[in-house]
Structure 1
Amino acid sequence: MERDTVDKGRVHLIGICGTAMAALACMLQQRGWLVSGSDAGSYPPMNGVLARHGIAVLPGYEAERITPELQMVVVGNVAARENPEVQKTLSLGLSYKSLPEVLWSEFLAAAPIRTVVAGTHGKTTTSALAAWVLQTAGLEPSFLVGGLVNNFSANFQLGSKSLFVLEGDEYNAAFFDRRAKFHHYRPTHLLLTGVEMDHVDIFHDIGEIEAEFSRLIAGMPADGVIIAAADNRRLMGLLRESPCPVATYGAASTADYQLTGFEPLEAGSRLVVEDKDGGSFTLSTATIGRHNAENVLAVYLLARRLGIERALIEKALTSFKGVKRRQEVIARKGETVYVSDFA
């Protein structure tokens, strides 16, 4: 997408080298903002992304960088109130927002279709696959996910202003906004991969995590749709209060779309699915692993609800190249497969 010609002013991002913050910086630049940013360190892969867009990472945090000329300061959740740039922002009375607040005001509010992938595990791969399916179908979605998608060589895209795909994180937004990030995104289509204990630095027990997801579900519009993992008992309990239709998937016999067969192939895998009406179908995918079979099924159901033809979905599933360092196959030698993975 070409840069907007309208100059919206200057914005500074505190903690710019984070995966989502760096993507946001590039997106704001494309929308006409003059972008600067700082971080404690400049590290890959996002320093390379920023460099390709001509955005420098200013080392460390210095109060002198925050001036009255800034129209907005974006405060990453790595920055505490004591951060010198935060302190200068507050003392000058400048406008400041968290990353999810900016995503909503600058990009999401104008998008009638907001697809959010949330859950304790599998968010990045699933949201990346959803974006690729929509791209293959010619819809050119806007998206932001938590890893570099190999099909795009990026973790974001500003495409259609009417369709946005987001990875929805349950971690809090900023020191001044302790809500989960995904509450800001107001999804119309919500894909839930499961609820488990995580982020023990901010959540004391599973009940606190369940409360965040319960609130997310309760905020869905009546004409929205939720696609959810049937194998996750905690999630199924939360969905009893859903205000909108729910379609479930997984190995559980209670699933609306039950994964009854999984066959690993030399490159990828094949799925067998039975629906609650007794029908069945197969899906081929380039992804590996039984867990990814469920992610694939979830994205398939989402795409069908967005009106995408099955042939286009299957084309995307078999051409998906995955996410960097998410079970990324980097080499094969004989019967040995070398995989790079950190998540």
Structure 2
Amino acid sequence: MKIHFIAIGGSAMHNLAIALHKKGFTVTGSDDIIFEPSVSRLKKHGLLPEQYGWFPEKITKDLNAVILGMHARTDNPELLMAQRLGVKVYSYPEYIYEQSKDKLRVVIGGSHGKTTITSMILHVLQHAGMAFDYLVGAQLEGFDTMVSITDAPLIVIEGDEYLASPIDRRPKFHLYKANIAVISGIAWDHINVFPTFANYVEQFQKFIETITVGGTLVYNQSDEVLNEMVIKDLSEINKLSYTLPEYEIRDGITYIMYESKAYRLNVFGQHNLSNIEAARIVCNKLGIDTYNFYEYISTFKGAARRLELLGSKGDVNVYKDFAHSPSKLRATIAAVKTQYPGRKLIACMELHTFSSLNADFLNEYSGSMDLADEAVVFIDLKTFQQKQMEPYPAETVKDAFKRDDLIFYNTPENIVKLFENIQPHNVTILMMSSGNFGGIDLNQLTQNILKKIF
């Protein structure tokens, strides 16, 4: 099989390219710019393009397929050549389905928690010694890549609701045709694509309708919008709900209680406990009993950038998290505050995505940082410039978050100065962003904070 990737440097794209290369396919690719870690990973497997740019001559009739990344434009020269020659063009979710249509497909969807639930399932399956393929949106400990395509009979897929490609405007998770599906919850996101909440919710109803007849939907019963949707749905599928398990928090450690036994966890927060229950039901369906599941999940350390501990010393902890949407912000802040109730919580988040910066969406953040003792919001001025958006003042942000004492900064230097001047005693610091805080080295910032503790 000869496969060419247009925009090979993307997070999912380069991992899929490597997976197909490992399977024995002949893989080529192009991109106009590629960042780390994609550069090193592609180079390691001999897949890094010799030159950046688009080269229509790479598209030939003997290609079995072209896979089109979201980063490409509809007028991409290589795409136009493929269309002219009649070469089959796939989005990467389409091609994942093409490679897995004869497998048992588990698809994890939801506005929040899908990366973590997928990671939990993969962790347990690996410990159980099962053969499986996967697609997940984060680099996981114990896994070389974020995509695996082999001859395994099972695939676990993180089902993103964002668009499949520039020429395929369907949400990715509509394309996988799940045998077992999970929906963790619904909270409006991607306002640039789904301009109303109703339009966004509709995508999840359509996702349910793509589940194979006789398949299974695992859903979060505590989500009111989702619960109402499932009750009204008439699809010929099995429906299994989940809520929080029985648990205890002792000395900053969370334990799941099951049949008189306590299972110590490395993760915490009600959102993660809920994620664990979704993963448990899926693993039960795959033949792993609850006792073994809780034994295996007790060693799960979390997905990358999900409540990741950057450092701790004495009564000071510093975490970073991928949280950036209002629902994720609330859940993450609540988790940390509950885990360390006697400590001051300083929560700092970066508004970075198009949706979060959209003035029409900003009010969705109302009250989302209320549980933090000190709330900081950062928007890099360069982000406004890159997205060609008009910057707005601190007052606009404070009004949206409904918090008069909120601290607002628009340069990374101010963030660094703020944390270098704090008194590190009985405090938890939580850094939340889908970006990089204007290039701040959070590991170095953490070490600078901890060095002040005697």
Q: Same fold (TM over 0.5)?
A: yes
Match of 2:382 in 1: none
1:280 Cα deviation after fit: 8.5
Q: Are 2:16 and 2:148, in contact at CA under 8 Å, matched by a contact in 1?
A: no
Q: C-alpha separation between the residues in 2 aligned to 1:338 and 1:60?
A: 40
Q: Which residue of 2 aligns with 1:102?
A: 95
Contact 1:193 1:229 in 2 (8 A): yes
Secondary structure at the aligned position of 1:323 is classed as coil
Counting strand residues as a fraction of each chain, which structure ranks higher?
Answer: 1
What's the offset of the Cα at 1:117? 0.5
User: Quick check: 1:289 aligned with 2:281?
Assistant: no
- Residue 140 of structure 2 corresponds to 149
Find 1:243's aligned residue among 216, 221, 236. Answer: 236
Q: Is 1:228 the equivalent of 2:222?
A: no
Match of 1:176 in 2: 167
Structure-1 residue corresponding to 2:124: 133
Change in CA separation of 1:148 and 1:173 when aligned onto 2, cut-off 3 Å: same
> Could you give the per-residue CA deviations for residues 8-41 of structure 1, whole angstroms, max 9, x where no partner exists?
2x21111112221112111211222111112232
Partner of 1:212: 203
* 1:195-219: CA deviation from partner (whole Å, max 9, x where unpaired): 1111111111111122211111123
In the TM superposition, structure 1's runs of 4+ consecutive aligned residues that sit over 6 Å from their partners are none
TM-score of the aligned structures, taking structure 2 as reference length: 0.66
Name the structure 1 match of 2:329.
none
Partner of 1:80: 73
**Unmatched 5+ residue regions in structure 1?**
1-7, 251-257, 274-278
Say which of 270, 275, 278 aligns to 2:255.
270
Q: Give yes or no for the alignment of 1:38 onto 2:5.
A: no
Provide the C-alpha distance between the structure 1 equivalents of 2:178 and 2:33, rounded to a whole number of angstroms: 33
CA–CA separation in structure 1 for the residues paired with 2:272 and 2:168: 33
**1:71 to 1:41, Cα distance in 2 relative to 1, 3 A:** same
What residue number does 1:61 align with? 54
The alpha-carbon deviation at position 283 of structure 1 amounts to: 4.5
Q: 1:54-75 deviations in whole A, cap 9, x for unaligned?
A: 2214523233333334332111
Q: 1:16 to 1:120 in 2, by over 3 A?
A: same
Distance 1:331 1:14, change over 3 A: same
Query: What is the 5 A alignment of 1:5-24?
Result: 8=1, 10-24=2-16
Q: Per the alignment, in what secondary structure is the counterpart of residue 147 of structure 1?
A: coil
**How many angstroms apart in 2 are the aligned matches of 1:128 and 1:53?**
24
Q: 1:262 to 1:232 in 2, by over 3 A?
A: farther
Distance 1:69 1:41 in 2: 26
- Aligned CA RMSD, in angstroms, stands at 2.2
Are 1:27 and 2:19 an aligned pair? yes
Tell me which of 302, 309, 325 is aligned to 2:305: 325
Q: CA deviation at 1:50?
A: 2.3
CA distance in 2, matches of 1:317, 1:289: 15
Deviation at 1:264, TM superposition (A): 6.1
Instruction: Identify which range, 55-64 or 210-219, moves more after superposition.
Output: 55-64
Assess, with a 3 A threshold, how the Cα gap between structure 1 residues 153 and 264 changes in structure 2: closer, same or farther.
farther
Q: 1:134 to 1:159 in 2, by over 3 A?
A: farther
Question: Could you tell me how far apart the structure 2 residues matched to 1:117 and 1:210 are?
Answer: 16
How far, CA to CA, are the matches of 1:269 and 1:262 in structure 2? 6
3-state secondary structure, aligned to 1:292: helix
Structure 2 residues not aligned, in runs of 5+: 324-454
| Preserved contact between residue 35 and residue 55 of structure 1 (Cα < 8 Å) | yes
CA contact (8 A) 1:140 1:159 kept: no
* One of 198, 213, 228 as aligned partner of 2:189: 198
Counterpart-to-counterpart distance in 2, 1:109 and 1:88: 28
Q: Which has the larger radius of gyration?
A: 2
The letter of the residue matching 2:173 is: F
CA deviation vs aligned residue, 1:84-107 (integer Å, no higher than 9, x gap): 22122222322211111111112x
Q: Does the 8 Å CA contact 1:264/1:289 hold for their aligned counterparts?
A: no
1:104-158 CA-to-partner distances (Å, cap 9, x unmatched) read 112x1120x2111000111111101111111111112111101101132432234
After superposition, the Cα gap between the structure-2 partners of 1:131 and 1:60, relative to the gap in structure 1 and judged at 3 Å, is same
Q: Any idea what SS the aligned residue of 2:173 has?
A: helix
Aligned residue number for residue 338 of structure 2: none
1:163 CA drift (Å): 0.8
CA contact (8 A) 2:162 2:171 kept: yes
For this pair of structures, how many residues does the alignment match? Answer: 320
Q: Is 1:51 equivalent to 2:31 in the alignment?
A: no
| Residues 55-64 or 71-80, more deviating | 55-64
Match of 1:316 in 2: 296
Asked if 1 retains the 8 angstrom alpha-carbon contact of 2:68 and 2:92, the reply is yes
Q: Output the TM-score relative to the length of structure 1.
A: 0.86
Percent of residue pairs bearing the same amino acid type: 30
Larger CA deviation: 122-131 vs 323-332: 323-332
Q: State whether residues 159 and 173 of structure 2, in contact with CA within 8 Å, keep that contact through their aligned partners in structure 1.
A: yes
Q: Give distance in 2, aligned partners of 1:280 and 1:37.
A: 55
More helix by share: 2
Distance 2:150 2:314 in 1: 41
